[in-house]
Amino acid sequence: METVSRRNWLKSAVALGAGLPLGITLANELMAAPVSQAEKRHGVFRPGKLVRLGSNENPYGPSPKAREAIKASITEHNRYSFAEAQEFKKVLADKEGVSPDHILLGAGSGELLALTGMGIGIEGGAVLSAFPTFRTLMEFAVRFNARWDKVDLDETLTHNLEAMASAAKPDTKVIFVVNPNNPTGTVLDPAKLKSFSEEMSRKAIVYSDEAYLEFLEPGQQHSMIDLVRKDYNVIVSRTFSKIYGLAGLRLGYIVAKPDIIRKIAKYQPGTIISQPALAAAKASLGDNEFMSFTRKKNAEARDYFCKYLDSKKWFYGNSHANVVLFPAPKDGKTILEETEKRGFQIRIWDYQDKEWCRVSIGTLDEMKAFTKAFDEVIA
């Protein structure tokens, strides 16, 4: 992959200033990139109406409260949201127990992953992560100047924290951890993750991506936010796309020490969060009724799907989120073609010279229909 040197970055910045959609192109290229040879040949996110089991979305969102708030915000849609965004940052800061200068809002947490990858990658060195995992930060870092050091998951498809600690090098700048992980939904032991983050953040910035954390029961949601409050070199990222079901509105945020926030924010090209996104997020935040509804429905549909995988005696990661990864029972490209013909979109990943199916959890009815179709696909 071609890297972007400091000089090229300057040129890119000039191109952005000239109104060329370079940032958008790069984001599309990297964030919607194929994750396997099969996807390279078949294509990803092809047009057409499919049951979406390919993007780990929330099929129940937006919540009733968010829908009302979006409607009510219409009278403000002709106004820039500077004041509303500031106000919302305060709400988030109170929730997270930090001051507002610890918070950066983004057009989805994906934007913040991309900016972190750029801001750190441009200085060279390395970013370290498990593999497979959500790749945006590392893809941007590589494109900008850094090396991506990958550490395979363990045999249960969970992050191997010991191996990751050993893989950190003197030039490692960011250590990226996703908990629960995408594409596996597997979770880490909270005490182990905490001591790993404490220890490793003395050497590099630890980025704790908690996009799916709220899929766990409230008592089991062990965020690394406490380390941010204690001034560790830790970034926590959260999104309104998953449990809150607002993926299409694009709003996420990171929490970190103000100097880290400033370093990342300076690469943000004038993102202004939209009025409906802010209204919906404000109404959604802490909506326990909708969160537990989603959690319950997701667990029901995931259990159904895991029973199906059990009935086939197929190995899969122990998912606590809305996604499951299992070895592809036949050639990946054929699976993509045949599931698509039957109206479903899933993903194929390459990992350890094998192909893997990544299936997002939809509604129970969707999973019932999908397992029927999948039986035909593999027949």
In the complex, which residues of this chain contact ligand PLP (CB under 6 A)? Answer: 56, 108-110, 134, 178, 182, 209, 211, 239, 241, 247, 252
Tokens for 310, please give them.
Answer: 């059990």
Cβ-based nearer residue to ligand PLP, 70 or 107: 107
Q: For residue 49, which amino acid is it?
A: K
Cβ-based nearer residue to ligand PLP, 105 or 178: 178
Cβ-based nearer residue to ligand PLP, 151 or 377: 151
CB 242 within 8 A of CB 213: no
Cβ-based nearer residue to ligand PLP, 172 or 322: 322
Tell me the three state secondary structure of residue 182: coil
- Name beta bridge partners: 253: 105, 238
Place of tokens 């600690």: 165
Which residue's CB comes closest to ligand PLP? 108
Alpha-carbon gap, residue 29 to 13, rounded angstroms: 17
Smallest separation (angstroms) from ligand PLP to the CB of 5: 27
Alpha-carbon gap, residue 243 to 281, rounded angstroms: 11
Looking only at the bridges linking them, the beta strands covering 103-106 and 252-255 are antiparallel
Cβ-based nearer residue to ligand PLP, 178 or 255: 178
Tell me the three state secondary structure of residue 192: helix
Cβ-based nearer residue to ligand PLP, 57 or 366: 57
DSSP annotation string for 27-77? HHHHHT--SSHHHHHH-SS-SS--EE-SS---TT-S-HHHHHHHHHGGGGT
CB 333 within 8 A of CB 42: yes
Smallest separation (angstroms) from ligand PLP to the CB of 312: 26
Smallest separation (angstroms) from ligand PLP to the CB of 297: 19
Neighbours of 194 (CB within 10 A): 16
